[in-house]
Amino acid sequence: MSNSLVVRRFASEPNCLRLMPMSTDKPETPPQERKRLVKAPTRGKEVGTRPKAVRVIKGNKMTQSSQAWLSRQLNDPFVTAAKAKGYRSRAAFKILELDEKYHFLKQGQRIIDLGCAPGGWVQMALAKGASNVVGVDLLYVEPMPPATMIQMDFTDPACGDRLIELLGGAPDVILSDMAPNTMGHRQTDHLRIVGLIEAAVDFTLETLRPGGTFVTKAFQGGEMEGVLLTLKRNFAEVKHVKPKASRAESSEVYLVATGFKGRSV
Ligand SMILES: C[S@@+](CC[C@H](N)C(=O)[O-])C[C@H]1O[C@@H](n2cnc3c(N)ncnc32)[C@H](O)[C@@H]1O
């Protein structure tokens, strides 16, 4: 075999001359650059970019409001934190913040939770050492012993007696996070919400132990004035709080009424 070299020009590289062994019988192709089969690891992120918000792809089976709800849930840090801590709902952070400010959840209490699904507030009440917790919701709630949760409409005239019977005595604390499904008509929605809050206030004035606490979801403005006046007459103190977990764009606030004066007022 000869070691002689020869200068050759390849059709694919017209401007380049290559020295090749004279005896080569390989096809006339120049050496190719090898393609990369594996990309450098990026540890789950596109290099040089921030984590992106999860976007809901619009499909024709979902209503616009369901899409907006899903998108909010997927991007909500309180939803993520609730999952990480094993809380049943992001609402758990609201009651924790209210209690951090006013210290109304204590060991050995009897507590009623109105509108308790999926159970974040019940979970926090038990964690704070409540001895007996009874909840009610229109929706089924996964059991959480030793709490008792019933599926019933709170506005059913039989509901109040049933709750007290299950609790076994006057409640020390009544919590209400009830919110009806909105219908999209602002004024009607507001009246329905206020109606539920008024029903919770009536029940509280009938059943709460003197000295006890009532916490309710509320909304600014409109028909809330009457509720506020009633609470101020019947409790030593009434505070308005907008917890961090309450969405800024919502007019939702919470009322914390402490030091119930008793039924005679
Ligand atoms: C914001 S969620 C409550 C979240 C709850 N605090 C938690 O920690 O998981 C409001 C609940 O009120 C309930 N609700 C609305 N109207 C009701 C009614 N008339 N009787 C009972 N529950 C009702 C809804 O079904 C809904 O589950």
Q: What pLDDT digit, counting tens, does each position of 196-217 carry? A: 999 999 999 999 999 999 999 9
User: 213-219 and 252-260 as β-strands: parallel, antiparallel, unpaired?
Assistant: antiparallel
Q: What's the mean pLDDT in 172-178? A: 98
Helix (H, G, I), strand (E, B) or coil at 146: coil
pLDDT in the model for residue 265: 52
Cα 154 to ligand 1 centre (Å):
10
- Which atom number of ligand 1 is nearest to the Cα of residue 120? 8
For range 233-258, the mean pLDDT? 95
Q: Contact at 8 Å (CB) between 214 and 231?
A: yes
- What distance in angstroms lies between residue 113's CA and the mean position of ligand 1's atoms? 9
Domain ranges of the chain: 91-260
Distance 156 CA to ligand 1 centre (A): 14
| Angle (deg, nearest 10), helices 159-167 and 186-207 | 40
What pLDDT score was predicted for residue 24?
Answer: 47
pLDDT tens, residue by residue, 46-71: 333 444 676 666 666 777 777 776 77
Please name the residue that has the structure tokens 């000295």.
211
Q: What is the Å distance from ligand 1's center to 196 Cα? A: 10
Q: Which atom of ligand 1 is nearest to the CA of 89?
A: 9
Tell whether ligand 1 has an atom less than 6 A from the beta carbon of residue 203.
no
Convert the pLDDT of each residue in 14-51 to its tens digit: 555 555 566 544 445 554 554 544 444 443 343 334 44
Q: Is the pLDDT of residue 221 over 90?
A: no
Q: Residue of the nearest CA to atom 7 in ligand 1?
A: 120
Helices (H), the chain: 64-74, 77-85, 91-102, 120-127, 159-167, 186-207, 224-234
- Residue 189 is predicted with a pLDDT of 87
135 CB within 6 A, ligand 1: no
Question: Which one is catalytic: 217, 232, 239, 244?
Answer: 217
How is domain 91-260 classified at the CATH fold level? Rossmann fold (3.40.50)
Is 83 annotated as catalytic?
A: no
Q: How confident is the model at residue 250 (pLDDT cuts 50, 70, 90)?
A: confident
Q: Which of 98-112, 143-157, 222-236 has the lowest mean pLDDT?
A: 222-236
Residue 108 in this model has a pLDDT that exceeds 80: yes
The confidence score (pLDDT) of residue 14 equals 54
**How many Cβ atoms from other residues are within 10 Å of residue 130's Cβ?**
22
Give the model's pLDDT for residue 181.
Answer: 87
pTM exceeding the 0.95 threshold for the entire prediction = no
144 ligand 1 Cβ < 6 A:
no
Peptide bond into 210 cis (omega under 30): no
